Amino acid sequence: MSFGKTDTSRGVQSQALEPHTWLLCAEVTLVVAGIPAARVGRRRAKQLFCPPQDKEGDGVKELDNLKSDRLRTVQLNVCKSEEVDKVLEIIRSSLKDPEKGLWGLVNNAGISTFGEVEFTSMETYKEIAEVNLWGTVQVTKAFLPLIRRAKGRVVNISSVMGRMANTARSPYCITKFGVEAFSDCLRYEMHPLGVKVSVVEPGNFIAATSLYSLEHIRAIANKMWDELPEVVRKDYGKKYFDEAVVRMQTYCNSGSTDMSPVIKAVTHSLTSATPYTRYHPMDYYWWVRMQIMTHLPGAISDRIYIH
């Protein structure tokens, strides 16, 4: 079920990306905002900047241990404009010829949580959006002048949850739907300027990221329950709430632990002469579900997945 080259199924885990003309990246500089995708450009870019949210995190230590003179980690909170400006200046000053610009920007920074709408505070909605959506917009806007000069690439990491909604994930889904819309608008605007914009929509890779241990899920759930309005606790009951938490634990343990399909997709988007508009690194369950929920009437997909 494929509708043209740009909306392709070639990113499904068990399928390989087709051979394409590859661009020589030995003389280009990449910025990867978020640690997991930083492995993408390590062997291809002349310079690779990886701005993590937490300079003391395990991902930073892993990259620093590579001891590469082409790799540099710099502190960046994507929500803080002063830090974005500081990193921009660091990168601009590191370019041999700033007028030639910056080849690639990968927006990978993101956070997530879980909880049904009535279980989720407005503060949580705003916190997730501040990083996942507005952080992506802010970093992209800051680096676009350099990207335009190089006629380079912007790669935004979205999610299958940016194409189809799911229960207990509304804070995350809202932001990823926003990243999809932002990426489409940016792609339209950058096309006449020679800049290519791609979106990578991973399936369930939570197990590979180690973001949600059972202890972490339980800690989030306990805090959420304690902060619920009394009327919500009374109407839903603790049994219903606990069952929802167990479903989230099962979901987190069921995902793929192999990140290579995502890394291959990002690499292709940065180095192929003809990158795709969207990449779908996911297993067949999520790919089929996404096709059904995005191409068939809602009454049909609701019948299959909700009723």
CA-to-CA dists, residue 34 to 50, 57, 76, 139, 212, angstroms: 7, 11, 9, 12, 17
In Å, the largest CA–CA distance within the chain is 63
Cα separation, 145 vs 141, whole angstroms = 8
Residue 196: its H or E element: strand 196-200
Spatial CA neighbour of 139 closest among 78, 82, 186, 66:
78
Residues 6+ apart with CB under 8 A from 184: none
Kindly calculate the radius of gyration of the chain based on its CA atoms and give it in whole angstroms: 20
Phi, psi values for residue 80, rounded to 5°: -105, 115
Tokens of 73: 């980690």
List the catalytic residue out of 125, 172, 212, 285: 172
Tokens of 89: 């200046």
305 as an active site residue: the answer is no
Phi, psi values for residue 275, rounded to 5°: -70, 155
Known catalytic residues?
A: 172
